[in-house]
Amino acid sequence: MTSEIHNDALVNIPKTNKKQIVIIGGGFGGLQLTRHLSSLDANVILVDKANYHTFQPLLYQVATAGLEPDSIAYPFREIFQKQSNFIFRMAEVKAIDTAQNKIETLIGDITYDYLVLAAGSTSNYFGMKDFEQYCHPMKSIPEAGELRNLILENLEKALLVTDLTERHRLMNIVIIGGGPTGVEMAGALGELKNHILPRDYPELDFKSMRIHLVDMSERLLGAMAVESSRSAEAFLKRFDINLWLKTRIVAYDGETLVLSNGEKLLTKAVIWAAGVKGVAMPGLKEDSLLAGGRFKVNVYNQVAGYENIFAIGDIAAMVTNETPKGHPMLAPVAIQQGKNLAKNIFNIIAKRPLQPFVYKDPGVMATLGRNHAVAELKFVKFQGFLAWLVWLFVHLMTLVGFRNRVIVFFNWAWSYFTYNRSLRLIIKPSQPTKAS
């Protein structure tokens, strides 16, 4: 551990003899950690490739024109305006130099006394190159925006073609992965197809538009109870979503998706919700990395083989007897690990014993469209309207920023009563972008 005076000249971090805590990623985990270190006499340096925090659970609503991007994002500089030890640098981290205790970014190196990896996860295509090339992920606001553009642009193109096969190919959408993200996306698309798009595109026949949801396992929402899966399946079928369970994806060339049962789905829009892996952070020992690109951590979130490097949230796998595969990649895990690590950083600096992380599972939920969700809380499982109300309330209250809560609430109320989503805009950067 370094105790020398820091001067990260290139990134313009002032010279100081205070400890430097560098946090890579301001997602759910990084945000809580930074916040809970506010009274630490140290430099708390947050490095993120975006200048805002993203509320990922509502990305699918941006992709389906239910919410505008800025209502699920919040700028770090505003969140931490009043935190005097906070320093932010917008930069993509490329590698870690553990010998010299520094991270390498595109804007320069930053030294650390303690480093926290909180960079989350990225889409995992399990080595299937054609799917990586042609599928559309939904892990960030730009990706959700691109998906919205794709869906709407395909409909604009569908108006121009007379060949019916080609028209259907442009209208059809396939979602791969029947976990909460895939299921929520399917519900939202079903709602768009049934209630909204026919009004916008009266020249298109939406009865012939197909929305497919494909999953390898025998039921949707495999991590939830059977009754939640059954409820989700019944609800999506009412929306006319084609469910392909116990079905593998075999090939996709950007036009036709081949399934393991030989079925060929014609589509130019395939959404990837089938798997994620930890964001790559080159430079750490290979044996600290587990399958799925997650860093092996002990009960204090210390990365295996390092005393001053920690990992929290999706990028970390705390393998214990109770959690042989690590904790689920969920927001509450990241939030709770961020809070516990903050306490432990205080403990380390004060030379007190560390507190192990204990996960308090608040339960899981998934929404399927208006009036219907499935919820599994600690002592009770329920589905339907009440679950939907609980889902609305929890998501509203966890959004960062009062303004965002009001805007999201207003948008939801508006689309609930009017069956309308007013954000069906195709917005792209102008080409070519001006040099800055």
Query: Active site residue: 78, 132, 146, 184, which one?
Result: 184
Binder of ligand FAD out of 8, 20, 23, 30 (CB under 6 A): 30
Binder of ligand FAD out of 73, 96, 115, 138 (CB under 6 A): 138
Task: Find where tokens 């079905």 sit.
Answer: 247
Task: Give 229-275 as a 3 state SS string.
Answer: HHHHHHHHHHCCEEEECCCCEEEECCCEEEECCCCEEECCCEEECCC
DSSP state string for 1-50: ---SPEEEGGGTEEEESS-EEEEE--SHHHHHHHHHTTTSSSEEEEEESS
| Segment lying near ligand FAD (by CB under 6 A), choices 117-125, 147-155, 202-210, 409-417 | 117-125
| Segment lying near ligand FAD (by CB under 6 A), choices 52-60, 162-170, 242-250, 262-270 | 52-60
Binding track, positions 65-94, relative to ligand FAD; x by CB under 6 A: ---------------------------xx-
DSSP state string for 325-381: T-S-S-HHHHHHHHHHHHHHHHHHHTTPPPPPP------EEEEEETTEEEEE-SS-E
Any catalytic annotation for residue 184? yes
Binder of ligand FAD out of 22, 23, 87, 119 (CB under 6 A): 119
Under the binding rule (CB under 6 A), the answer on residue 59 touching ligand FAD is yes
Q: Which two tokens stand for residue 274?
A: 């089938």
Under the binding rule (CB under 6 A), the answer on residue 27 touching ligand FAD is yes
Under the binding rule (CB under 6 A), the answer on residue 394 touching ligand FAD is no
Binding track, positions 251-290, relative to ligand FAD; x by CB under 6 A: ----------------------------x-----------
Residue 435, C-beta contacts closer than 8 angstroms, at least 6 positions apart: none
Smallest distance from ligand FAD to CB 164, Å = 33
Burial zone of 430 (CB within 10 Å; 0-12 exposed, 13-18 middle, 19+ buried): exposed
What's the CA gap between 186 and 420, in Å, rounded?
17
CB nearer to ligand FAD: pick between 198 and 363: 363
| Nearest C-alpha neighbor of 311 from the set 320, 323, 299, 324 | 299
CB nearer to ligand FAD: pick between 24 and 197: 24
Length of the chain: 436
| Segment lying near ligand FAD (by CB under 6 A), choices 2-10, 152-160, 282-290, 326-334 | 326-334
| Nearest C-alpha neighbor of 22 from the set 139, 347, 336, 13 | 13
Smallest distance from ligand FAD to CB 273, Å = 7
CB nearer to ligand FAD: pick between 27 and 348: 27
CB nearer to ligand FAD: pick between 167 and 294: 294
Would you tell me which residues interact with ligand FAD (CB under 6 A)?
24-30, 47-50, 54, 56-57, 59-60, 92-93, 118-120, 138-139, 180-181, 279, 313-315, 329-332, 334
| Active site residue ranges | 184
